[in-house]
Structure 1
Amino acid sequence: MDHDGAPLAQLTGISKSFGGTQAVRGVDFTLHAGEVHALLGENGAGKSTLMKVLSGELTPDHGEIRIDGRPVRLTGPADAQHAGIAMIHQELDLVPALSVAENVFLGREPRTRLGAVDRRRMVRGTAALLERAGVGFDPRRPVEQLRTGEQQLVVIAKALSLDARILVMDEPTSALSAPEVERLLEVIGELRRAGAGIVYISHRMEEIGRVADRATVLRNGRVVAGFDARSMTAAQASEAMVGRPVHLVFRTTGNAAAGEELLRVEGLAVRTRRPRPGRRDPAGVDLRVGKGEIVGLAGLLGSGRTELLETLYGAGTKGTWQGKVLLAGEEVRPRSPRHALRLGLAFVPEDRRISGLALEHSVLANAVLSVVDRIARLGWVPRRREQQVARASVERLGVKLASLRAPAGALSGGNQQKVVLGRGLLTEPRLLLLDEPTRGVDVGAKAEIYRLLGEVAERGVGVLLASSEPAELIGVCHRVVVLQGGRTVRELDTGHTSEADLLAAAMGQGQLEDLVGGRR
């Protein structure tokens, strides 16, 4: 690609510290018009910090920013917007109680001649933006009624509404299903052809090769490598990110399909008087999980994967149950998460920042939250015992942190996820429920999580894992159950299934019987 003239954006010698931690160290980074530049690195490598500097959210300690060759000083997001810069954050910055349209135009509401908010124009404009992003839900719906993936699409629509020339996308596809990812990549192609420059942060290597022109790798706050993204291999990128060869060995357990049955779900459906918009409660789910077996849950956005896991954990919609849930042969109905924990179930939710962690509290408090009753003596928690349990958990999972007393919100996304997973494992569950456990997690952390799942399964724990990544489901799981509209429509043996097979099943293509010869 030929880049005549000054870069669209040029960052030179950017450094930023937080207390004694140097997050970014003397980084140079350029972005040209009509280019997609991938920014890669492990969680905590400095990617988000660098982009927050470009988007005006952080002021660098040292360095210079130039837009169209001219030095600029960005003292806040408003300055960045004025300069034509917009950022799509990995952690969604939406107001849950407001509607989709109100969130898209928040602070920039169109006005009538009399100065009142023109809601009709706002709804029309939002509908057009959502259509451009490939979705068609009602712009008047409250954001709190949307699933995480749908909220991600709202944030993308909001960024498109700014008509930015420089667009920073931080893990934009982490919560999207395959068709939504395809539509987003089409939108990125349209923006590139219109002359926009896009910084693309993602841990999904297959996307990088498809969408990006160049790739820059950060490690420990420094630039360590640069690649032509179209010819870069996942192995090259992974080794540059972690500083050593990384082998993503998915399955570390043998075929556990013949193991003793642990979980059986028969015809599970939840009937509610007032169904919540945007939810897809179980409407006829059949599946089983054996001891030491990892079973995947596949399906498009809105298929009901998350709602099934929440129902099994006693955290879903309250209503009338139909069908049966048997745990080790005994019929159960978890009434609450506390009850589910007593039954031997643990749950790692999709949105770690909202459902998984108390971000303002310490890593120590978050790590032992589920086992406080176990380590307490006469209602009092011995500090030394609490610290021993927490330290053993974070060391087992390789959590990178300055101190157990540091707030959980100060950790990178991957390390936050490890804390949530470690807390679930501390309860010594019989069945582990996982919803997108590697969402927004770097390649090194993914390898560690896969290793842990292998260890857990070898100890006889059953795992039910929902994921939107076909490669992960096929690589990690022994079998995959496909959901559509809250119903089980297919079961696949991953030993005889390709990613294309799995995607076709999730999209409802082909017949609804097992590819490998009958539901077992």
Structure 2
Amino acid sequence: MSNNILEMRSITKTFPGVKALQDVSLDVARGEIHAICGENGAGKSTLMKVLSGVYPHGTYDGEIVFEGEVAKFHSINDSEHLGIVIIHQELALVPFLSVAENIFLGNEQRSKSGLIDWNATNAEAAKLLARVGLAENPTTIVSQLGVGKQQLIEIAKALSKRVKLLILDEPTAALNDTDSAHLLDLLRHLQGQGITSIMISHKLNEIEAIADSTTIIRDGKTIETLNMKADAVTQNRIIKGMVGRDLENRFPDRTPEIGEEVFRVEDWSVHHPTQADRMVVKGASFAVNAGEVIGIAGLMGAGRTELAMSVFGRSYGRDISGRIYKRGKEIKVRTVSEAIDHGLAYATEDRKRYGLNLIEDIKRNVSAASLGKLSRRGWVNGNEELKVAEEYRLSLNIKAPTVSSVVGKLSGGNQQKVVLSKWIYTDADVLILDEPTRGIDVGAKYEIYTIINRLVAAGKSVIVISSELPELLGICDRIYTLAFGRITGVVDVADATQERLMELMTKVKD
């Protein structure tokens, strides 16, 4: 008898004009942690949506065998009934309901009279929270908790459905190192309880640390499945399978040609938008030159995004003070429009919520910040808009059939390229890129780094905010560190190490 809890045989899934999966097969052994790797758009999430019934039986070719029986899931309820639970990258919690209400939403604990038994609901929720190591009151409103705790609540919700096979799509993408480590420990703990897990992730160090087997998917096809322990698999070995070649260098070569100072911020302070007595940025000063990439490093909550958004047209915070200079002359950037007019651009860390219109096409997204350049007498020149978008689709290698493709259906890496296209088209002198490679694969990251190099080679100034210190060390010329809202240091990349940066990122400055 097979030891596999799951077998997916010759799965093929087609969307109009695109074959997302082609003859994909996957075997998952009972009780293992099985990783799935691949570039953005390779078909990983599509395969899991087929498995979980999001794409119902009949909309794809192939066969699913779960616990030895052929499964034909017509909805996500069908797969959950058998113990298959998927946790998507975008968490599906209701922010204004309590932890207990979220855990049992759609699976309510009812009394004999048919009404919800709140005592039982809260008691069972407390037991599930204990299983995932979360010491929160079940009546706590979910919006009051951080992303790491919300991820654990999603797992507690899965446990309430007597999960046998847990699917996690990029579970640590938005987590800091501490929360990520806790989540991986929890998966090992659940494995000890007999729960099988499938984990999609771009963080190869985590896969190397936790996975028993890794299946690599490329261009909608299964490439290979690696036994992580027996084959002594390295990150470079996984990368080779993902991109189809050895990626000798994670970062493209660049010879810096740094010019005069372009942009400077002095003594910048920002108060929290709703808590007037709380300062989130305290007297921060930094500068960037033409042709230079500077990094801003800091732990979660240090104020990195708050600093960037407040500088970009005061789009965050209140009672903001300080001065901004462009080529030595003080400028006013009281609104986003003024910031754009002064040659500033800001690519947000949350591309889905703030960076893109997901129900619009590539063409409309690329032109969104520069309609004035395309307008004549108040009307947008549609032919010119189409031409511009097509140029960026080709030059930034956006993988989509046409610029009429809806952005919400693109992979994360291609969505990020659309965000960059939008801001590059503004012809900004200073581009602030907030977590520009979050949630995208190693191949797409390399392409983003190449785009950054092209920008600075053209004399632009680039500011990169990133949670990944190796990334900052690989692409920046200088790195500023931020702790508790204050700039605590600036280090030339030639002299920087992760240890030195971490020391400055945790420094308390009076």
TM-score by length of 2: 0.89
Supply the AA of the counterpart residue of 2:288. V
- Name the residue aligned to 1:39: 36
Whether 1:229 aligns to 2:240 is no
1:308 and 1:172 map into 2 onto residues whose CA distance is 27
Could you tell me which residue of structure 2 aligns to residue 30 of structure 1?
Answer: 27
1:238 matched to 2:219: no
Instruction: Name the counterpart of 2:407.
Output: 408
Q: How many residues are treated as equivalent by the alignment?
A: 505
Question: What is the rounded CA distance, in whole Å, between the counterparts of 2:283 and 2:125 in structure 1?
Answer: 35
Name the CA shift for 1:146/1:478 in 2 (closer, same or farther; >3 Å). Answer: farther
Instruction: Quote the offset at 1:320 in angstroms.
Output: 0.5
Partner of 1:7: 4
Give the Å deviation of 1:487: 2.5
What is the Cα deviation at residue 459 of structure 1?
Answer: 2.0
Aligned pairs for 1:285-324 within 5 A: 285-314=284-313, 316-324=315-323
Contact 1:133 1:183 in 2 (8 A): no
Mapping for residues 107-506 of structure 1, pairs under 5 Å: 107-111=106-110, 117=116, 152=151, 154-230=153-229, 231-250=232-251, 252-255=253-256, 259-272=259-272, 274-275=274-275, 281-314=280-313, 316-506=315-505
What CA deviation, in whole Å up to 9, does each residue of 1:218-265 have, x standing for no partner?
112111122223422333322322223334442543456x64233333
Paired amino acid for 2:267: G
Residue 120 of structure 1 deviates from its aligned partner by: 6.8
Structure 2, unaligned runs of 5 or more: none
C-alpha distance 355-179 of structure 1, shift in aligned 2 (>3 A) = same
Given that residues 38 and 200 in structure 1 are in contact (C-alpha distance below 8 angstroms), is that contact kept between their aligned partners in structure 2?
yes
Residues 148, 351 of structure 1: 8 Å contact kept:
no
What secondary structure does 2:222 align onto?
strand
1:183-230 residue CA offsets vs partner (Å, 9 max, x unmatched): 111112111222211111111221111111111111121111222234
Alpha-carbon distance, 1:489 to partner: 3.0
Q: Matched residues in 1 for 2:211 and 2:31: separation?
A: 11
Contact 2:270 2:279 in 1 (8 A): no
Cα distance in 1 between the residues matched to 2:304 and 2:406: 30
SS at match of 1:287: strand
Change (3 A) 1:284 1:163: farther
Are the structure 2 counterparts of residues 145 and 483 from structure 1 closer, same or farther at C-alpha, using a change threshold of 3 Å?
A: farther
Contact 1:280 1:304 in 2 (8 A): no
> C-alpha distance in 2, partners of 1:119/1:378?
61
Of stretches 400-409 and 12-21 in structure 1, the one that deviates more from structure 2 is 12-21
Aligned to 1:8, the other structure's residue is in SS state strand
Contact map agreement 1:268 1:284 (CA 8 A) in 2: yes
Q: How many Å apart are 1:104 and its aligned residue?
A: 3.6
**Partner letter of residue 165 of structure 2?**
I
Unaligned runs of 5+ in 1: 514-520
Q: CA RMSD in A?
A: 3.0
2:48 equivalent among 42, 47, 51: 51
Q: CA deviation at 1:466?
A: 1.5
**1:275 CA displacement:** 2.6
Change (3 A) 1:128 1:295: farther
Residue 144 of structure 1, CA deviation: 5.5
Summarize the Cα distance change of 1:313–1:99 in structure 2 as closer, same or farther, 3 Å threshold: farther
Shift of the 7–427 alpha-carbon distance from structure 1 to 2, 3 Å rule, reads: same
Q: Classify 1:183/1:442 alpha carbon distance in 2 versus 1 (closer, same or farther; 3 Å).
A: same
- For 2:342, the aligned partner's letter is L
The 1-side partners of 2:115 and 2:296 are apart by 47
**Which secondary structure state, in structure 2, belongs to the residue aligned with residue 301 of structure 1?**
coil
Match of 1:517 in 2: none
Give the Cα separation in 1 of the matches to 2:146 and 2:469: 20
The change in CA–CA distance for 1:273 and 1:128 in structure 2 (over 3 A counts) is farther
TM-superposed CA distance for 1:292, in Å, is 2.1
Query: What is the CA deviation profile of residues 363-420 of structure 1, one whole-angstrom value per residue up to 9, with x for unaligned ones?
Result: 1111111111111111111221111110111111100102211211111111111101
Following TM superposition, by how much is the alpha carbon of 1:314 offset from its aligned partner in structure 2, in angstroms? 2.7
Native 8 Å contact 1:481 1:491 kept in 2 = yes
Report the CA distance between 1:146 and its aligned residue.
6.2
Kept in 2: contact 1:368–1:423 (CA 8 A):
yes
> In 2, distance between residues paired with 1:46 and 1:7?
22
The answer to whether the 8 Å contact 1:41/1:219 transfers is yes
Q: Deviations over 1:422-466 (max 9, x none)?
A: 111111112111121111112221111000111112222222212
Partner of 1:518: none
**1:469–1:9 Cα change, 3 Å:** same
* Structure 1 residues 123 and 463: CA distance shift in structure 2, 3 A: farther
Name the stretch that deviates more: 9-18 or 488-497. Answer: 488-497
Residue 169 to residue 280, structure 1, CA distance change in 2 (3 Å): farther
> Quick one: distance in 2 between partners of 1:43 and 1:444?
8
- Provide the rounded CA distance (Å) in 2 between the counterparts of 1:138 and 1:422: 45
Aligned residues of 2:483 and 2:508 also touching (Cα < 8 A): no
CA distance 1:318–1:440, shift in 2 (3 Å): closer
Cα displacement string for residues 458-491 of structure 1 (whole angstroms, at most 9, x for unaligned residues):
2222222121222212112222223233232343
